[in-house]
Structure 1
Amino acid sequence: MALITGLFTFLYHLPQIYKWLLKPYYIGSFLMTVAFLLVRKAPGVCQHLATQREDGNSCDFDWRELEILMFLSAIVMMKNRRAITMEQHIGNLFLFSKVANVILFFRLDIRLGILYLALCVAFVMTCKAPVYMGPEYIKYFSDQTIDEELQKDSRVTWIVEFYANWSSDCQSFAPVFADLSLKYNCAGLRFGKVDIGRYGEVSERYKVSTSPLSKQLPSLVLFQGGREIMRRPMVDNKGRAVSWTFNEENIIREFNLNELFQKSKKLSKGRGLKGEEQDSSKPDEGSDEPHPETNHPEQPTESKKDQ
């Protein structure tokens, strides 16, 4: 049953996987993931490699290599239990496969290990993971605009993501947050993002640490009237984030998005009526509800290219 479920999941995501294959980052990551397998099995190359097999077959894995690969599989499965997107699943596989490849190559030949490690460093420095560029109703803040926007209208509730472009968790969460903005954005409920990797003063002002050890990236904060009401993940007295899964169900439940959206729709209607009295031909900014059939959806005033 698990095999059938996995097969259907793979087929469902096949179009997305096909798009990944066209991107240099995923092509390079895939090749580096299978590098040791290719070297160990390549005809004309594997015959010259060292081996600890009793039969002396240097074109097959020895018991220690199999042990490392099995341990890698266990680690990836454990990490993927908390993964919420296909990008996170693939990212975990790439990351720990590269670590395993470094160990395997150094064990096989220190020169191959150094070469592979150098390639990993060069790949990280020159090839970045693709950034989500799909549809979204999100306002991108800078250090100059965030305070003004949050305090501009006390009737508007903001859900703001504090993120950093270098964080793989933030990159994986981007499509989830974008999807929520498409479903729940309206005049009284807005979605925003600020890159605290770029704006360090915002990080200090809102007490969101950018240290990888703190595990506070991404952070979602709910603001009403410019005041913080709640945030996830919560932070303990030692400044460490309390473990929390950033999936759509958890966010909807913890932030009461359905209830907030219903209240915000009333604000949208009120603004719409007021706008009609003032100028029937000029719709109020932000009054569009996030439905697929909307003909003129609100466009964010900033974009990733602006950042």
Structure 2
Amino acid sequence: MALLTTFFAFLYHLPRVYKWLLKPYYVASFLLSVAFLVVRKTPGICEHLSSQREDGNSCDFDWREVEILMFLSAIVMMKNRRAITVEQHVGNIFLFSKVANVILFFRLDVRLGLLYLTLCIVFLMTCKPPLYMGPEYIKYFSDKTMDEELERDSRVTWIVEFFANWSSECQSFASVFADLSLKYNCAGLKFGKVDIGRYGEVSKKYKVSASPLSKQLPTLVLFQGGKEVMRRPQIDKKGRAVSWSFTEENIIREFNLNELYQKAKKLSKGRGEKAEGCPPVPDESEGQPETQGEEAESKKDK
């Protein structure tokens, strides 16, 4: 049953996957991921490679290469169990495929290994994953505007994402956070983002580590009256981030978004604003939320 679900989910997202693969970043990632397979199987090249096969066939995988590829597949399956978006699934496959390619090329020939590793470093430095550019109701803060906006109206609840553009986890989460903002944004419940990779002072003030080794990205913080009420992931006594899955269901449950949304609608009525200004809660309406032009403006600091 699980295999059927995965298969149908893949078919459902297939057009979207094709769209990603046509982007330069994913095209280059795909080519790097299959580089060893191409070298090992291409006639005219594979005949000059070394092999540990008993039959001496250098155009087929030897037993050690098969072991490495099987180990790679097991790691990808384990990592993808915690992936929440298709982007994360694809990203995990590309990442560990490149790691396996490095090992396989170095094992085959040190010169090939160094060449492939150099290509990966150049790719990492010059190619960045495409950023999410879909619809959203999100306010983008800078280090100068964040505190002012959070304290502007004590009745407004803010859910703020602390992110960094270089973080693959943040990039994968972008579409999830955008969808939540489309469904729940209202006069009394708003969504914001701040790039702590760019604004280091914000990172220090709110104690969200921007280190590449940090497990705190992304971090979601709920502010009420300008004060922090809760955050995910939580930080333990040793200062380490507690593992938490950033799925839409988890966020709705942990942050009580449905309850916050109902309070936000009351705030809208109290201000004399039209109730239609708030999109319907997904559980309470079968239709898709209507977007309002004024609220839909995303103020991104360049």
**Fold agreement, TM-score > 0.5:** yes
User: What is the rounded CA distance, in whole Å, between the counterparts of 1:241 and 1:21 in structure 2?
Assistant: 33
Paired residues of 2:188 and 2:268 also in contact (CA < 8 A): yes
Partner Cα separation in structure 2 for residue 92 and residue 9 of structure 1: 17
Query: Are the aligned partners of 1:219 and 1:231 in contact in 2 as well (CA < 8 Å)?
Result: yes
Match of 1:159 in 2: 159
Distance 1:64 1:105, change over 3 A: same
Deviation of 1:301 after TM superposition, in Å, equals 4.7
List per-residue Cα deviations over 1:38-68 (Å, max 9, x = no partner).
0000011111100000000000000000000
- For residues 255 and 49 of structure 1, the distance between their equivalents in structure 2, rounded to whole angstroms, comes to 57
1:296 CA drift (Å): 3.4
User: Which of 273, 277, 282 is 1:288 aligned to?
Assistant: 277
CA–CA separation in structure 1 for the residues paired with 2:17 and 2:294 = 29
Q: Deviation string for 1:261-293 (max 9, x for gaps)? A: 0111111122235xxxxxxxxx89xx8213533
Whether contact under 8 Å (1:222, 1:228) holds in the other structure is yes
Letter in 2 for 1:112: L
One-letter amino acid of the counterpart of residue 49, structure 1: L
Whole-angstrom CA distance in 2 between matches of 1:296 and 1:117:
48
CA-CA distance at 1:21 after TM superposition? 2.0
Matched residue of 1:272: which SS?
coil
Counterparts of 1:3 and 1:240 in 2: how far apart (Å)? 35
Letter aligned with residue 163 of structure 1: F
Q: C-alpha distance in 2, partners of 1:222/1:20?
A: 32
* Counterparts of 2:190 and 2:166, CA distance in 1: 25
Distance 1:18 1:130 in 2: 14
Letter in structure 2 aligned against 1:59: C
Residue type at the aligned position of 1:150: L
Q: Deviations over 1:119-174 (max 9, x none)?
A: 00011111110000000000000000000000000000000000001101000000
> Where do 4+ consecutive residues of structure 1 move more than 4 Å?
none
Whole-Å Cα distance in 2 between the matches of residues 47 and 272 of structure 1?
Answer: 78
Alignment of 1:151-190 (within 5 A): 151-190=151-190
Q: 1:29 to 1:301 in 2, by over 3 A?
A: closer
Aligned length: 294
Matches within 5 A, 1:256-271: 256-271=256-271
Contact 2:277 2:292 in 1 (8 A): no
Q: Which segment is superposed worse, 231-240 or 65-74?
A: 231-240
Query: 1:295 and 1:17 mapped to 2: Cα distance?
Result: 29
Percent identical among aligned pairs is 78
Match of 1:245 in 2: 245
**TM norm structure 1:** 0.92
Report the TM-score when normalising by structure 2.
0.94
- What is the distance in 1 between the residues matched to 2:294 and 2:245? 30
Contact 1:139 1:192 in 2 (8 A): yes
Q: How does 1:199-238 map to 2 (within 5 A)?
A: 199-238=199-238
Query: Do the aligned partners of 2:136 and 2:298 also contact (CA within 8 Å) in 1?
Result: no
Aligned partners of 1:122, 1:93: CA distance in 2, in Å?
19
Q: Distance in 2 between the 1:272 and 1:24 partners?
A: 49
Query: CA, structure 1 residues 82+139, in 2 after alignment: closer, same or farther (shift >3 Å)?
Result: same
CA distances 1:238-278 after superposition (whole Å, capped 9, x unpaired): 211001000000000000000000111111122235xxxxx
Using a 3 Å threshold, how does the CA distance of structure 1 residues 229 and 3 change in structure 2: closer, same or farther?
closer
Structure 2 unaligned regions, length at least 5: 281-288
Shift of residue 75, structure 1, vs aligned partner = 0.5
| Distance in structure 1 (CA, Å) of the matches to 2:123 and 2:89 | 20
Aligned equivalents of 1:251, 1:115: Cα separation in 2: 43
C-alpha separation in 2, matches of 1:253 and 1:86: 22
Q: Could you list the runs of 5+ residues in structure 1 that have no partner in the other structure?
A: 274-282
Judged with a 3 Å threshold, the aligned counterparts in structure 2 of structure 1 residues 18 and 223 are, in CA distance, closer, same or farther, namely: same
RMSD value over aligned CA atoms? 1.5
1:298 is matched with which residue?
295
**Conserved 8 A contact 2:151-2:225:** yes
Cα deviations by residue, 1:184-238 (Å, 9 ceiling, x for unpaired): 0000000000000000000000111112333000000000000000000000122
In the alignment, is the contact (CA less than 8 A) between 2:182 and 2:291 conserved in 1? no
